A and B are shown apart, each in its own frame.
Chain A
Amino acid sequence: MKNLKKTAIILAGLAIIGFGFIQQTKITIIGSDTMVILAQRWAEIYMKKNPTVNIQVTGGGSGVGLAALINGTTDIANSSRPIKPTEVQKLKDRYNTLGVEIPCAKDGITIFLNESNKVKELTTKQLSDIYSGKVTNWKDVGGDDAPIKLYGRENSSGTYAFFKEEVVKADYAASCQTLPGTAAVVNAVKKDKYGIGYGGAAYASGVKHCAVKKDDKSKGIVPTPETIAKNEYPITRYLYLYMRNRPTGEIKKYVDWILSPEGQKIITEVGYFPVK
């Protein structure tokens, strides 16, 4: 009987120690599709360095991420647009906080054109006219006599909202085909000679970057680390991490790491631009 008790105590002790060893901290991240590649890269590297931390990254769009933050189903919301006053109100109502906003990277919204398109640069006014449906033929902006095919993002996307607010400044044309994710937009433009799309700089491969001009007299600027850092590229935005409260524990360590030189270096590798 004594032996049995001793064995039970030892087993219980081992179990506690064992659980201690395998206990993992789980961090959930939901939100911006623009930030998915970056967030996954951050998570992969951080988890390698910290095996006890399990980070789950999901896209869905900035609106989806912020809704998950309000509903309590995510620890961090990735967003490619600032939080809206209505969303802050919901955080106030449920959590009695304003939420915590951390700008973690910068992005230039790239205008994607097919490589065979004659057009090389567009003004922000021309982009507005194209996406609002006022200009429907490439010949009106210096290209071939062919109809412009518009590609864009769904309305849950922060990129959709940012581009609408900062560039289109009107409703999108009904002919604009919405696609799930910037990679899909790039793919569509790659296949469509007369297509035009927009999205995060990190996704642009196999398509042409259109230079953007503030107005007729300005010089066309292509998004590069230099033009973004100097705020020369006209369509620049911050990418954000949102949390309900000031981060503590493992989440704080993770956020601190993202803002450290090591975390910021990954931003450049992925194709975005650091904030520090």
Chain B
Amino acid sequence: MKQLTRSLFLLLLFLPGFKGLSQNASDTLNERFQSVEGRLNALDEKTAAHDADLGKLTKIKVSGYIQAQFESYQDGLLKTNDPNNTFYIRRARVKFTYEAADGIKFVLQPDFSTGNLSLKDAYAVASLKKVPWLSLWAGQFNRLNYEVEYSSGQREVLERSKVIRSIYPGEREVGAKLEATPAAIPLKLQLALLNGNFTGKEQKDVDSKKDLMARAVYSIKTPVGIGIDIGAHGYYGGIQAKNKYVSGYDAVMDSASTNTGTYLDKQWLGAETQVFFDWLGGMALKGEYIAGKNATVGDSKSNPNKERKFSGYYAYLIKNIGKKNQFVARYDYYDPNTSLSGDEAKKEVNYSTLTLAWQFYLNDNIRFSLNYEMPRNETNTTVPKDIKDNVFGIRLQAKF
């Protein structure tokens, strides 16, 4: 009993020590826990800072494509000693898009083709929060036309049809555009005010008159998987004659002194349709007809200002063959001067062009294109036979 009492007494003596030991362990644990918590908080802060930086980066999107191609030309396209075939870079573009906020976007697209560093797109897009379906564009952007707006990286033939290349040189234009795509109706409305003289180099307008463009497209979807887009566009503008020599619609030269500074009409209308049909892997028929008055500025009597009435159209048949192949046929027609025919037309003859193409999509990034363009011109005594100007092209397109 005595021993038990002694043992208990000794134990009581040591208890505060135990308590002290336990207290020390707990303190150490607390310190370590606080240290770990501190480190975690520091990491949290770092992650938040990185998140903010990465968030900014995700607002920048970079895309682009390179089109390297081989072309072989018929004799009619060549001057003396010209090579009849060549490799070249058709386009090498990088597109930067910065989405500053919902509905606010900046786009910059230079083209770095060999010896041809040029600015393609440079515009800002803004839409109001309350009307997100309405956007205002300002800067340099594509003109309002189906084939013009259809990306060169996506198009099924190597070049646009002759009528589009002739009336919309350079595709782009400097100005401002309103675009409406109401959610309730499958309708796209575009209205633009443009300088009206752009061919790819003009920084500013050459005259004070601005040109007006409008386009509307309505999409119909049928229950059997057919989609039909119907649209129209119009161009209303003019270009100022820089001297008194004006070659009129009938090609008769007018040199009245009052001609200098007058506006020559650039006015036309176009009707378009695209039909998409989910038949054996997909098929499309696309077409457009455009007619009106066009004018170009000359600098002398031998190269006068010219007014012309023109018309043109194009029609595409595109058929997917499996998932990777695509057959394309396009027929296009362009008459640069409908007022004149036969010998009166001289060199302004009409062209009808058949283009056959085959696409092979290796994957989403790589596409091979075979393209054979066969233009056929009207003949007269100035242009007595069909010019041998067929072009065969092979293109490798890589995009990212």
| Complex interface bits, A154-183 against B, C-beta within 8 A gives 1, otherwise 0 | 000000000000000011000000000000
Given contacts A93-B154, A97-B225, contact A246 B278 (CB under 8 A): yes
User: Whole-angstrom distance between the alpha carbons of A200 and B54 in the complex?
Assistant: 28
User: Whole-angstrom distance between the alpha carbons of A88 and B319 in the complex?
Assistant: 18
* CB atoms of B284 and A92 under 8 A apart: yes
Query: What is the interface size of chain B, counting residues whose CB is below 8 A from a CB of the partner?
Result: 26
Task: Tell whether B122 is near chain A: CB-to-CB under 8 Å.
Answer: no
Q: Tell me the minimal C-beta distance from A225 to chain B in angstroms.
A: 29
Give the residue of B219, B318, B364 whose beta carbon is less than 8 angstroms from that of A96.
B318
Among residues of B, the one whose C-beta sits closest to the C-beta of A73 is: B364
* CB atoms of B186 and A85 under 8 A apart: yes
User: Whole-angstrom distance between the alpha carbons of A88 and B220 in the complex?
Assistant: 12
Given contacts A71-B364, A85-B186, A170-B129, contact A97 B276 (CB under 8 A): yes
* CB atoms of A245 and B364 under 8 A apart: no
Among residues of A, the one whose C-beta sits closest to the C-beta of B101 is: A171
Task: Tell whether A135 is near chain B: CB-to-CB under 8 Å.
Answer: no
Query: What is the interface size of chain A, counting residues whose CB is below 8 A from a CB of the partner?
Result: 18
Query: Which chain A residues lie closer than 8 Å to B221 at the CB level?
Result: 98
User: Whole-angstrom distance between the alpha carbons of A145 and B331 in the complex?
Assistant: 72
User: Whole-angstrom distance between the alpha carbons of A246 and B278 in the complex?
Assistant: 7
Query: Which chain A residues lie closer than 8 Å to B150 at the CB level?
Result: 93
Among residues of B, the one whose C-beta sits closest to the C-beta of A94 is: B154
Task: Tell whether A244 is near chain B: CB-to-CB under 8 Å.
Answer: yes
Give the residue of A71, A85, A96, A244 whose beta carbon is less than 8 angstroms from that of B283.
A96
Query: Which chain A residues lie closer than 8 Å to B363 at the CB level?
Result: 72
* CB atoms of A96 and B276 under 8 A apart: yes
Task: Tell whether A100 is near chain B: CB-to-CB under 8 Å.
Answer: yes
Task: Tell whether A95 is near chain B: CB-to-CB under 8 Å.
Answer: yes
User: Whole-angstrom distance between the alpha carbons of A73 and B363 in the complex?
Assistant: 9
Given contacts A72-B364, A92-B276, A246-B278, contact A100 B225 (CB under 8 A): yes
Most buried by B among A97, A244, A246: A97
Contacting A at CB under 8 A, from B136-159, are 150-151, 154
User: Whole-angstrom distance between the alpha carbons of A93 and B286 in the complex?
Assistant: 11
Among residues of A, the one whose C-beta sits closest to the C-beta of B219 is: A85
Among residues of A, the one whose C-beta sits closest to the C-beta of B224 is: A246
Task: Tell whether B282 is near chain A: CB-to-CB under 8 Å.
Answer: yes
* CB atoms of B227 and A98 under 8 A apart: yes
* CB atoms of A245 and B276 under 8 A apart: no
Given contacts A85-B181, A245-B278, contact A95 B320 (CB under 8 A): yes
Task: Tell whether B274 is near chain A: CB-to-CB under 8 Å.
Answer: yes
Task: Tell whether B323 is near chain A: CB-to-CB under 8 Å.
Answer: yes
Query: Which chain B residues lie closer than 8 Å to A171 at the CB level?
Result: 102, 129
Q: Tell me the minimal C-beta distance from A177 to chain B in angstroms.
A: 11
* CB atoms of A98 and B278 under 8 A apart: yes
Task: Tell whether B38 is near chain A: CB-to-CB under 8 Å.
Answer: no
Task: Tell whether B368 is near chain A: CB-to-CB under 8 Å.
Answer: no
| Complex interface bits, B273-295 against A, C-beta within 8 A gives 1, otherwise 0 | 01011100111100000000000
Q: Tell me the minimal C-beta distance from A153 to chain B in angstroms.
A: 16
Among residues of A, the one whose C-beta sits closest to the C-beta of B281 is: A245
* CB atoms of B274 and A92 under 8 A apart: yes
- Chain A contacts to B: CB under 8 angstroms: 71-73, 85, 88, 92-98, 100, 170-171, 244-246
23 contacts between A and B (CB under 8 A): A72-B323, A72-B364, A73-B364, A85-B219, A88-B227, A92-B274, A92-B284, A93-B151, A93-B154, A95-B282, A96-B276, A96-B277, A97-B225, A97-B278, A98-B225, A98-B227, A98-B276, A98-B278, A100-B225, A100-B278, A171-B102, A171-B129, A245-B278
Interchain residue pairs A-B with the least CB separation, the first 4:
A96-B282, A96-B284, A98-B227, A97-B278
Known contacts A72-B364, A92-B274, then 14 further A-B pairs from the complex at CB < 8 Å, ordered by chain A residue: A72-B361, A92-B227, A92-B284, A93-B151, A95-B281, A95-B282, A96-B277, A96-B283, A96-B320, A98-B227, A170-B129, A171-B102, A171-B129, A246-B278
- Chain B contacts to A: CB under 8 angstroms: 102, 129, 150-151, 154, 181, 186, 219, 221, 225, 227, 274, 276-278, 281-284, 318-320, 323, 361, 363-364
